[in-house]
Structure 1
């Protein structure tokens, strides 16, 4: 906006006091530098009353002094070049103070100063000049409101993202500790090569680790805790179980009971029939979409599914899953292991 104040200097010979125009130009450049420096120092403009007061005071001085550079009948012309700089004061008022009584009073003072600076060269253009102060103030209010709203939403989104990341980190650490630390205790507790007191100590350590994790991460869904308990139960029986659980919500109680019963039976079958070193991957997922998937997969001896009676040694549990609207599928090939897949609700064919 300072460049507008250079324009009157091109009509140097028409000015009554050209040195006042030069003084106004230099003062405007200094004030613009002050505003820029203050914004760099404070990093904000909101509630900066000092900046708003200094800017309004300077604009009043600029109007008063700058208008004197021209003859009385030419003041409207020279003030046309001053008004862009003065309108910035309205914008700063909107950003720094907002819609308050003192900012409205400042607008009235700017109006009065503008009218006095133009005297006696007052014409119809005065109305549009005064309206300009109001329009810039209103635009400033709108932009400031939008920017503040965006800042609040950005801060909320950042906080939510940080919270979600922290929660995911906690869940990952929890799973890793349960799968690794507790798993080591469980394996040591059933390792018959170790002395009995060492096995007892490992079992005690496993219980202590579970209690610690339960206390640290007690906000996990109850279904997640039941899956972990089932995993630990078979680990303590000498079976190597690799849990892969992603549980974000709680399934209905009857669904959880039926699915866990079927999963327990599948793990029991792995322990009994998969070979001398039973090992299985235990997968479960349930999210906000409401689809529960549970799988027990081993790479043991396998069997011919067609040669086994319905239920595959699982009793009524497959039917129990179907009774609650789920599906139960067993896939197996001799020598290639077995896969048990449970889905609720059952996929539509």
Structure 2
């Protein structure tokens, strides 16, 4: 509704400007043609410049859309035409008000000054013509000038207030959009946490129970019997699915961020990787850690988590390092392993890489994968940091360039 009203105001403002130009030009031309001894040649010398000025206005202002931002060629040409018309007949002096009408709202004080100059020129013209200035003419000129200046300033004030209200409406709309986005993000995080709890309480616990039961059954069977082998296979399948369900829970709900900062949460991931697989994993933090919005830290943590999972499952590395570099206006994250590597151009991109790329793109960051067969893989991520964010109160152990030793 407010946007519709603003649009209507702009439309009526432009129409009023065009109508004002036409009325002033028509009245001035009528005054110039009102002489009793007007010949055909004299009439044409007044009608021609008037029509030319009207066509000039229509081309630059009406057709080319210069009502909001009048171009300089219009002003130069219109003032030149007005000067010719004023020389031909001083009755065309008021046309200057029409010529300046596109500038009333954009340059109100300039327009008011132009009107004052026009009033002074009218008085000088009367003095030069009659040798004196009639009191009634002078009074009318002063009153007309005052009215024109008042109207100019009033309309400019209305336009200024209209633009001010429009800016406030735009800010309100942007604030509402940000709030709606924050609410959607909060709802998404809440739903992910709910799904994580459901998966943990059902599938994860179920796989754990199945593994325990199969383990008990395996102890009652002869070690080399076919049934024991099939139970062993079922047990390995249950344990693999148990690991996958736990990974899914961690992917849905980055629990470390509920109680710590991004750097500490990444350190927990590398520590857990070392404890579970024996891979030498470490976290390095450089620069001064900066607090990021929880949603942003959650997305970054999931990207690191997916990168470590890919290294664990596919690269078979001896060591993995995660580097977080706070560089003032950006945060750079590098996940590097010394595993088997691959040729990015020759390998079909998996869903994990696609998901990581989409997460970083949503944060207005950059994502790159560097890998060579036999020489490991590096995943490089950069995301912008908030300019006015305070430094995080992370422990000193993750600041500077200290290398965090893995847990073996």
TM-score range, shorter chain: 0.3 to 0.5
TM-score of the aligned structures, taking structure 1 as reference length = 0.46
Of structures 1 and 2, the one with the larger relative CO (CA 8 A, separation 6+) is 2
Relative to the length of structure 2, the TM-score reads 0.40
